[in-house]
Structure 1
């Protein structure tokens, strides 16, 4: 090869690398813009709803629990179970993952109360933890979606689909995704990277916010998400035109909830399986990502946790994205 040819080859290679970097940055910028727009709309609607409350009425919240039952006077449509916990102790604020209203209605810790009620604050050490465990499992799926958006590069063209309702007996929490490849076989290091991202989210102690919006706003927020856009009409139809959204950090997704109060409730976590469940179009495929986790503070020996990890790798039997949807089931994403 002549000197001029060698120089030309180097110039061409540099140009190709610059083009590839530009495309990656362009894809990243487009994704970042979509996330930023979604968050801005979420924040604006959150502010609008607060400002629309008008006159603030008082409600009585009868707290039932340790150290003693007490009646709190709170602000209707503004005060949350977490605000009630603040009147009790720092320990109540830190331990309370979920609230129970009037003895039967699970309620997000940061969701404003709507009328006078009784209030119980739930943690993972109560005698009947089924309700709070389901909220924890659902939150793990939600966090998994956030982790996946952070670890995948733009060229993978990741699209979040949905996560099925929590079933503790299944042995795994789940998030379904679409990738523009039909042959992804993740390595152990790739799965560890996803698990590590979950732990990072837990360490950030991100508050999990709930917001109910009209279908039109939800459509605008998810206009760049093919699968969310397709799912929204059915979700809104079964909820009187409303859609329930959740946010942690800058990650927003659709779920009927409830979820635990913060990401810090996630303790030990392993994302250990990715099953290809169906092809999607000429180049893409659906994948079911699965994991297992323990609430923060729970200890389990290595052997016992290993059994949980092994079990969580079996394909979760929840309805798959490509299977027909039954009318009697909720169309909310979890």
Structure 2
């Protein structure tokens, strides 16, 4: 009886130590994420304060119900602010902006000079640009969902997401896990899908911020793979790195992205393909899914065909290949 009591005490001590370690690790991740968000907020305020004297620009809106010229504030007003002058419907429907007929522009990104403006939704005659932005946003949201659902002991590390290719049939996020034999169950895939849907329901604004090399390095100093990618990205963009944020999730992306998570409709995360071992205990995995914009519906059979296609390994650049933007056009 005494021996059993002693064994039980040792077991309880071991469990307590494990729980303590998990709490410490969780706190470290939370602190790191909080630090990254605080730097993001500080830089955004600094850039806003640096605008100085207000300068007016003319934005020529082209579209329904009629063309109109708006007088806006340079480096402050965004396409979304322009939509607010038009109607509530424009604010709700507009996922992406098009500047001067050729430049895709985030809805919440300040305008930098007088221009023409078109507001794009998923029903425009040529939805190519808005579909690419949607696919890219799905990959971004998938990264946020993965960070929310994985437990600390999985040692999840986000690597990158390839540029959107709608013809591939799936949006993608490449990750590293601390296991080399992960074979996800249907329940695990459903949990990730459900987290994506939760993000959509929260209607989170997707923010864009361009920062310099030093700040980007500081923000991601605790993330190995991001730290490795940042110098190459900055070198090809005059020492600048473009970041996006939804909620408290921040990642690197060329953009543009749609205005909010609410534009995500039906979504299914379907597969996680092992790509390669990484060191003695980790491995690269490619997580893939398929989605429709909010308000779009397909019958069960047609959507099932999309799901079948999305399960096949996406042929985009592998994460363990040399990181060269000339081959892959940056992270996304």
C-alpha contact 1:170 1:316 (8 A) present in aligned 2: yes
| 1:104-143 aligned within 5 A | 104-143=102-141
Give the aligned partner of residue 8 of structure 2: 10
Quick one: structure 1 residues 66 and 263, their matched pair in 2 at CA, closer, same or farther if it must change by over 3 Å?
A: same
Quick one: structure 1 residues 195 and 311, their matched pair in 2 at CA, closer, same or farther if it must change by over 3 Å?
A: same
| Residue 280 of structure 2 is aligned to residue 296 of structure 1 | no
Equivalent of residue 233 in structure 2, options 196, 216, 235: 235
Give the aligned partner of residue 81 of structure 1: 79
Deviation at residue 325 of structure 1 after TM alignment: 4.3
Q: Determine helix, strand or coil for the equivalent of 1:234.
A: helix
- Render the CA deviation track for 1:198-233: whole Å, top value 9, x for unaligned: 000000000000000001000000000000000000
C-alpha contact 1:152 1:158 (8 A) present in aligned 2: yes
Q: Distance in 1 between matches of 2:88 and 2:327?
A: 39
Q: Determine helix, strand or coil for the equivalent of 2:205.
A: coil
Give the aligned partner of residue 266 of structure 2: 268
Q: Distance in 2 between matches of 1:330 and 1:282?
A: 28
Deviation at residue 75 of structure 1 after TM alignment: 0.3
C-alpha contact 2:95 2:258 (8 A) present in aligned 1: yes
Deviation at residue 58 of structure 1 after TM alignment: 0.3
- Render the CA deviation track for 1:31-74: whole Å, top value 9, x for unaligned: 11110000000000000000011001000000000000000000
Q: Distance in 2 between matches of 1:311 and 1:83?
A: 39
C-alpha contact 1:41 1:221 (8 A) present in aligned 2: yes
For structure 1, which segment, 324-333 or 215-224, has the greater mean C-alpha deviation from structure 2 after superposition? 324-333
Quick one: structure 1 residues 9 and 282, their matched pair in 2 at CA, closer, same or farther if it must change by over 3 Å?
A: same
C-alpha contact 1:254 1:332 (8 A) present in aligned 2: no
Give the aligned partner of residue 203 of structure 2: 205
Q: Distance in 1 between matches of 2:325 and 2:59?
A: 37
Q: Distance in 1 between matches of 2:88 and 2:122?
A: 17
Give the aligned partner of residue 160 of structure 1: 158
Deviation at residue 6 of structure 1 after TM alignment: 1.7
Q: CA RMSD in A?
A: 0.8
Q: Distance in 2 between matches of 1:36 and 1:332?
A: 26
Which ranges in structure 1 are unaligned for 5 or more consecutive residues?
none
| 1:9-88 aligned within 5 A | 9-88=7-86
Q: Determine helix, strand or coil for the equivalent of 1:328.
A: helix
Could you list the structure 1 runs, at least 4 aligned residues long, displaced by more than 2 angstroms after superposition.
323-332
Equivalent of residue 190 in structure 2, options 189, 192, 195: 192
Q: So what's the TM-score if we normalise by structure 1?
A: 0.98
Q: Determine helix, strand or coil for the equivalent of 1:329.
A: helix
Equivalent of residue 169 in structure 1, options 167, 170, 173: 167
Q: Distance in 2 between matches of 1:327 and 1:82?
A: 30
Deviation at residue 323 of structure 1 after TM alignment: 2.2
Deviation at residue 13 of structure 1 after TM alignment: 1.3
Give the aligned partner of residue 286 of structure 1: 284
Q: Determine helix, strand or coil for the equivalent of 2:124.
A: coil
Deviation at residue 331 of structure 1 after TM alignment: 5.4
Which ranges in structure 2 are unaligned for 5 or more consecutive residues?
none
Q: So what's the TM-score if we normalise by structure 2?
A: 0.99
- Render the CA deviation track for 1:258-316: whole Å, top value 9, x for unaligned: 00000000000000000000110010000000000000000100000000000000000
